[in-house]
Amino acid sequence: MSWRIWRSVARRCNMQPLRSWDQSINQMISLSSGKLWRRLSLIAWQASIYWIWSERNGRLHRGVFKTENSIVTSIDRQIRNRIASYRESNTGLASRLLQLWLSSAP
């Protein structure tokens, strides 16, 4: 399930998702597809880790299960919110990041 969620999000960042944690770490360290894509990819990766871990904890400690689509929707919302947080300090950056994210929507 984690792989399918990450694959869905990574593809929106024009990334080839990797299954190995070590390979994924190295991939994030060596991102070189431009500053905007790099920033968007890191935001997406962080959001994915957070929501996958949150789902794991919900299942383990509370017995609450969410669907993959629900988790991907939460990730999408968090990414949009993070991008929106740039509006006050850098409107141009926020606009360009949001355009990239929305242009890659399925």
Contact 75/48 with Cβ under 8 angstroms? yes
Does the model's pTM come out above 0.85?
yes
Summarised one tens digit per residue, pLDDT across range 13-64 is 989 988 888 999 999 988 877 899 999 999 999 999 999 999 999 999 999 9
3-state secondary structure of 11: helix
- Specify whether the CB–CB gap between 43 and 83 falls below 8 A: yes
Residue 97 in this model has a pLDDT that exceeds 80 = yes
Question: How many structural domains does the chain have?
Answer: 1
Q: Which residues contact 106 (CB under 8 A, 6 or more apart)?
A: 8, 12
Q: Which domain holds residue 10?
A: 2-103
